[in-house]
A = this chain, B = another copy of it.
Amino acid sequence: MSDTPYYEKHVFFCLNHREDGRPCCADRGAQAAQEHAKKKIKQLGLNGHGKIRINKAGCLDRCEEGPVLVVYPQGTWYTFVDTQDIDEIIEVDLVGGKVVERLKI
């Protein structure tokens, strides 16, 4: 790992939409979840350099396990069902520094 990370936690939500019949994160509430997370981190004043960044991403290629997000540089992958799951990931992992085992993939 090089120096101090630019973001302490850099979160990428897969927002990919597929039309080939494979499951995709976009069909499973990924966009609403990303927007919810981004808003909440901003409300908490935790967004920005040295802190937390909530990002959109293209296909992370774990479609069958979706919707998925990944937290770097820790490399922790999560799935989620609703905004309550997102709140738990924010509270326990992004803020608390612990892994949410029940949502980890």
Contact = CB atoms under 8 A, between A and B. Distances in A.
Interface of A: 1-2, 5-6, 10, 12, 48-49, 53, 55-62, 70, 72-77, 99, 104
A12 B58 CA distance: 9
Copies of the polypeptide in the assembly: 2
Contacts of A58: 55-57
A58 B48 CA distance: 15
Given A72-B10, A74-B73, A77-B6, A53 B60 contact: yes
Contacts of A77: 6
A99 B2 contact: yes
B57 A1 contact: no
Nearest to A13: B58
